[in-house]
Amino acid sequence: MKNSKTYYGMTYFDENDLKESTINHRVELEYYAIEKNTKEETKYGIEIQKKEYVNNNIILESNNIDNISNNSKKVIEIISTLKEYKVTPVGLNDVLEDLLKAN
């Protein structure tokens, strides 16, 4: 089995996103497509990584979901939507479930 991960972009929370929270440090979100190849098929998944820059430390959080589809274009479209709405690792499962039900 061969696995690979492809970067599909980054976004961050700006002042408008954070004005109702107590967070006052930079928060970045990175989005990846995961490709898993077997002899029989190729399946694609998604990973979101969150980086919080607090003082001199970086706090990392990530979540990934494998085997979403065997259609890479569908997964890239989903990643684009996740990025547009700034979905975090903790929200990935619920948002993905809703997106897949809608299609």
Domain-by-domain residue ranges, the chain? 2-102
pLDDT at 103 over 70: no
∠ CA 27-29-31, nearest 5°, is 175
- Given a cut of 70, whether residue 13 has pLDDT beyond it is yes
- Cα separation, 46 vs 81, whole angstroms: 12
Give the separation between CA 101 and CA 27, rounded to whole angstroms: 29
Q: pTM score, two decimals?
A: 0.89
With beta carbons less than 8 A apart as the criterion, state whether 8 and 33 touch.
yes
In whole angstroms, how large is the CA radius of gyration of the chain?
A: 15
Kindly report, residue by residue over 17-31, the tens digit of the pLDDT: 766 677 777 889 999
The residue-averaged pLDDT of 57-69 equals: 95
Kindly state the tokens that stand for 70. Answer: 């065997």
